[in-house]
Amino acid sequence: MNIESQNVTDYPNSNTIFMVWRLIDDPKLKGTFQQLCALVLNLNNSVFNRFPDSRASCVMGIGHNAWNILDLPTPLPKELVNFEEIKGVKHTAVSTPGDLHFHLRADDKSIIFDMAIEISKLLTPVAESILEIHGFKYWDDRSILGFVDGTENPHNEDRDFFAKVGDEDVQYKGGSYLFTQKYLHNMNAWRSLSTEDQEKVIGRSKENDIEMSDEVKPSNSHIALANIGDDLKIVRDNMPFGNPSIGEFGTYFISYANSFSTTKKMLTNMFIGDPAGNYDRILDFSTAVTGSLFFVPTRNMLDDFSG
């Protein structure tokens, strides 16, 4: 059988909507989920046919509790668990609930706005919306902190290798472990730093995105701790968001990986430190307020789930 993955390796787009839903106990839940799986497939097919150049897609992830509530196949994906917080001496990667996650992307925001409406219409009777973030491309793929984001992302066939489950879990081959965090930035504190000090926090030059040499790069810089080797990579699709009038500025961290253990090692390096106590300096300016793990089944599985 030809395995068709969801669009986990698509490149970041100009507009994104992220949605997290919590399921409620309702007799219509399982029937609605069947309709939802069919809807996700339909939305992707429709936008591909109607707007082939829009790079639009809808990716759905399913959390550990939801997998059990919905009586989905067992055994579960090997590393699908409820994310447990990672607590360092100063900062914590918090754990927050989430049953379903939607990642909507398109060049034209109208497309994903309508997608979000259709998903919400279907889910509202059986689920509670607990998070909705509208992300956008900021200049040349920079975060609101002003630095290019995602430079270390794999490309070409490496994206498939690092983002999708391989033969080590044949039942779920082609699926992906999706981890998300909403970060809020303290921009007043960040702007109080000189450009040189900001570069030491990140480990790259701000203007032209050149990584510092190992001799110069601080051991607690973001690059030094978040990048754990060429054999352990994830596919990031981070997007900035914000509401300037209320002083909210943030980054929605989203990663797809062939195993959650890779992402967990990165988080451990960042929040606990390597060695312990040498935590990622970016956390002094960026606070994680959510943290949830999901599994993204293949399109073949969504078709099976749809009944």
The catalytic residue positions are 149
Comparing CA positions, the residue from 102, 51, 100, 97 lying closest to residue 292 is 97
Lookup result for tokens 């973001």: 222
Taking each helix axis as running N to C, give the angle between helix 109-123 and helix 29-50, from 0 to 180 degrees, rounded to the nearest 10: 160
Q: Contact at 8 Å (CB) between 256 and 178?
A: yes
Question: Element (H or E) spanning 293, and its range?
Answer: strand 292-296
Q: Contact at 8 Å (CB) between 201 and 285?
A: yes
Q: Contact at 8 Å (CB) between 280 and 271?
A: yes
How many CA atoms are closer than 13 Å to the CA of 25, on its beta-carbon side? 0
- Sequence-distant (6+) residues with CB within 8 A of 292 are 20, 63, 83, 95, 96, 97, 98, 101, 179, 180
DSSP-assigned states of every residue in 150-165? -TT---THHHHHHHS-
Q: Contact at 8 Å (CB) between 258 and 165?
A: yes
Q: Helix, strand, or coil here: 44?
A: helix
Beta bridge partners of 294: 178
Backbone angles phi, psi at 69, to 5 degrees: -60, -40
